[in-house]
Amino acid sequence: MNSDEATTPADAVMCHCSGTKRGNIQSLFEQGLDVDAISRWTGALSGCGGCEWDIAEFLKELAEQQSSTSGLSRAQVDSTK
Protein backbone atom coordinates (compact mmCIF):
# COMPACT_ATOMS: atom_id res chain seq x y z
CA MET A 1 0.00 0.00 0.00
CA ASN A 2 1.48 3.34 -0.93
CA SER A 3 1.64 6.23 1.52
CA ASP A 4 -1.39 8.03 0.02
CA GLU A 5 -3.57 4.97 0.47
CA ALA A 6 -2.26 4.29 3.96
CA THR A 7 -3.45 7.74 5.04
CA THR A 8 -6.78 7.66 3.19
CA PRO A 9 -9.58 7.68 5.76
CA ALA A 10 -12.16 4.90 5.94
CA ASP A 11 -14.90 7.43 5.23
CA ALA A 12 -13.41 8.43 1.86
CA VAL A 13 -15.92 7.76 -0.91
CA MET A 14 -14.62 5.29 -3.50
CA CYS A 15 -17.77 5.08 -5.63
CA HIS A 16 -19.52 8.38 -6.11
CA CYS A 17 -22.50 6.86 -7.91
CA SER A 18 -23.46 4.71 -4.90
CA GLY A 19 -21.69 6.67 -2.17
CA THR A 20 -19.76 3.56 -1.13
CA LYS A 21 -16.97 4.36 1.29
CA ARG A 22 -13.53 2.82 1.56
CA GLY A 23 -14.17 1.46 5.06
CA ASN A 24 -17.35 -0.29 3.91
CA ILE A 25 -15.50 -2.01 1.07
CA GLN A 26 -12.73 -3.07 3.43
CA SER A 27 -15.20 -4.41 5.99
CA LEU A 28 -17.07 -6.45 3.39
CA PHE A 29 -13.80 -7.80 1.99
CA GLU A 30 -12.70 -8.84 5.48
CA GLN A 31 -16.03 -10.68 5.84
CA GLY A 32 -15.07 -12.75 2.80
CA LEU A 33 -17.02 -11.04 0.03
CA ASP A 34 -15.48 -10.87 -3.43
CA VAL A 35 -15.72 -7.92 -5.82
CA ASP A 36 -19.01 -9.13 -7.37
CA ALA A 37 -20.65 -9.59 -3.97
CA ILE A 38 -19.36 -6.19 -2.80
CA SER A 39 -20.82 -4.63 -5.93
CA ARG A 40 -24.19 -6.29 -5.39
CA TRP A 41 -24.25 -5.37 -1.68
CA THR A 42 -23.19 -1.72 -2.04
CA GLY A 43 -24.09 -0.76 -5.60
CA ALA A 44 -20.47 0.17 -6.26
CA LEU A 45 -19.21 -0.60 -9.77
CA SER A 46 -22.75 -0.55 -11.14
CA GLY A 47 -22.94 3.09 -12.26
CA CYS A 48 -20.52 4.99 -14.47
CA GLY A 49 -17.56 2.63 -13.97
CA GLY A 50 -15.22 5.41 -12.87
CA CYS A 51 -14.39 3.62 -9.61
CA GLU A 52 -13.62 0.24 -11.17
CA TRP A 53 -9.84 0.57 -11.26
CA ASP A 54 -9.57 2.17 -7.80
CA ILE A 55 -11.71 -0.48 -6.13
CA ALA A 56 -9.94 -3.33 -7.93
CA GLU A 57 -6.57 -1.95 -6.85
CA PHE A 58 -7.76 -1.47 -3.27
CA LEU A 59 -9.08 -5.05 -3.09
CA LYS A 60 -5.81 -6.35 -4.54
CA GLU A 61 -3.86 -4.50 -1.85
CA LEU A 62 -6.17 -5.81 0.87
CA ALA A 63 -5.71 -9.37 -0.43
CA GLU A 64 -1.94 -8.99 -0.48
CA GLN A 65 -1.99 -7.52 3.02
CA GLN A 66 -4.22 -10.35 4.23
CA SER A 67 -2.02 -13.06 2.72
CA SER A 68 1.15 -11.56 4.17
CA THR A 69 -0.50 -11.28 7.59
CA SER A 70 -1.81 -14.85 7.51
CA GLY A 71 1.62 -16.08 6.38
CA LEU A 72 3.15 -14.31 9.37
CA SER A 73 0.62 -15.92 11.70
CA ARG A 74 1.43 -19.38 10.35
CA ALA A 75 5.15 -18.74 10.72
CA GLN A 76 4.64 -17.66 14.32
CA VAL A 77 2.55 -20.74 15.07
CA ASP A 78 5.08 -23.03 13.37
CA SER A 79 7.94 -21.52 15.36
CA THR A 80 6.22 -22.40 18.62
CA LYS A 81 6.07 -26.12 17.82
The pLDDT of residue 6 = 52
By C-alpha distance, which of 41, 48, 50, 66 is closest to 14?
50
* Average confidence (pLDDT) over 12-18: 96
Given this model, what pLDDT does residue 8 score? 78
Beta bridge partners of 20: 15
Q: Is 41 helix (H, G, I), strand (E, B) or coil?
A: helix
Q: What is the pTM of this model?
A: 0.76
pLDDT tens digit string along 18-55? 999 999 999 999 999 999 999 999 999 999 999 999 99
Domain range annotation of the chain: 3-79
Q: Looking at residue 12, what is its pLDDT?
A: 95
Q: Which residues contact 46 (CB under 8 A, 6 or more apart)?
A: 17, 18, 39
Q: In Å, how far are 29, 32, 62, 77, 81 from 26, measured between CA atoms?
A: 5, 10, 8, 26, 33
